[in-house]
Structure 1
Amino acid sequence: MTYTPALAAKLSGATPYQLNKWRTKGLLVPEVSPARPPVYSYRDLVALRAMVFIRAKTSAQRLRAAWGKLDMVAVADHPSAYSFGTDGRGIFVRLPDGTVLDLIDKPGHLLSEYTFEELFEEFENFRGQRVADLRRPARSLSIHPRTLGGYPVVEGTRVPFDTIAQLVDGDDVTTEDIPDMFPRVSARAAHDAVEFARSLEEAM
């Protein structure tokens, strides 16, 4: 599955301005399609979330500098393969083999110990706005990379949230009608899917 800029922004915590700037500066070019409108992959989403997580704790300049030095690591084809962390000054990367390197103060310097926070959990971006847990972006919705490629679905199903949201028009089809069409989707879950879809429109 792929992600529109609105969905990528909502799930990563990035602002539309950040998405555009990081794309045009080459920090994170969407791997599905960099052209307008850009289309992001699940791997892009994970990398974007790492960037937002780091940016919440350090400056944009340090983030750009660290991302520019990822090439020297050169052990994976996408930033989503790494774990990132920061102490507010240094920015650290954990490679797939467990090695931890400093990307800023002592580029390439091996660190003996660093505890990485879980960027999939809820956190605040640099504006102090809540970024939802990536595995559960809204009530009744869930994300798992092996379910529709990480696209948000109604929890416990493979039904995409936007399939439900597009059906509900408030007149001919209400959230109360959805269980008749999708027995595993409750009216409450349908309501949550509609609300999540509305929040995407507000984010852009």
Structure 2
Amino acid sequence: MVFPADVASVLSGASMGQLRHWRNTGLVVPGVADDPALYSYQDVVALRIVMWLRTESTLQRVRKAFANLRAYRFTDHPASYRFGTDGDTIAVRDDDERWTDLVRKPGQTHMFTLAEVFQPFTTRNGREVVDFTRPRGHLRVDANLLGGWPAIEGTRIGFDTVAALVEDGSLTAEDVHHYYPSVPVEAVPDAVSFADSVAAARSGAA
């Protein structure tokens, strides 16, 4: 599954402007296509890691840390690594559980897991970032289901499919449940709400 920039924006907490800037500077480059920008699931996780690190450290340090990954022979996708920070430096852990300081300012790092990164958090400019695996009450993001595309819980039906059905007002939530019995009525507003957030990101309002 590929993620257009607007969906990547909502799931990662990065603005569309940040995504463009990071794409142009090479911090996080879309792994699927560049024009238009199409991100992989791993790319979106990496964007989320960058945004989480930005709540604890500066963008300059994050940029330096990511740039130094390859120099220290961390050649896999950044989303596959476990990072830590103490605010002044950023470190990465290898398969042997050894830490490498990527910014060269030794200190006691705060190790964090993807589970922490996936929890809701607030960016430095006050933007509320959704729970990554549960962006809405009835939506789930699972790398093993639809490639991580946000879907109605317990189904393989994407949020966008449901939101599109009620977009023009001709169908109700009850109608959607009739056509898709696995989609509960209560899930329809969640799909619409998430679609609205994606649209807001696309227009620059988020």
TM-score by length of 2: 0.90
Deviation at 1:77, TM superposition (A): 2.5
Note the residue ranges of structure 1 that are not aligned, 5 or more in a row: none
Alpha-carbon separation, structure 1, partners of 2:26 and 2:143: 25
Root-mean-square deviation (CA, aligned residues, Å) is 1.8
Note the residue ranges of structure 2 that are not aligned, 5 or more in a row: none
Alpha-carbon separation, structure 1, partners of 2:108 and 2:84: 14
Instruction: Return the match for 2:189 from 188, 191, 201.
Output: 191
Q: Deviations over 1:110-154 (max 9, x none)?
A: x89753252111111121222111110112100110001111000
Alpha-carbon separation, structure 2, partners of 1:85 and 1:29: 22
Whether the aligned pair in 2 keeps the contact of 1:100 and 1:114 (CA below 8 Å) is no
Instruction: Return the match for 1:115 from 99, 102, 111.
Output: 111
Alignment correspondent of 1:57: 56
Instruction: Return the match for 2:154 from 153, 156, 178.
Output: 156
Alpha-carbon separation, structure 1, partners of 2:126 and 2:95: 30
Alpha-carbon separation, structure 2, partners of 1:89 and 1:12: 23
Moved over 4 A (4+): 111-114
- 2:43 matches 1:47: no
Alpha-carbon separation, structure 1, partners of 2:25 and 2:70: 15
Whether the aligned pair in 1 keeps the contact of 2:86 and 2:109 (CA below 8 Å) is no
Identity among equivalent pairs (%): 41
Whether the aligned pair in 2 keeps the contact of 1:81 and 1:96 (CA below 8 Å) is no
For residue 116 of structure 1, what is the amino acid of its counterpart?
Answer: F
- How many residues align structurally? 200
> 1:1-204 alignment to 2 at 5 Å?
1-34=1-34, 36-106=35-105, 114-117=110-113, 118-204=116-202
For residue 127 of structure 1, what is the amino acid of its counterpart?
Answer: N
TM-score by length of 1: 0.91
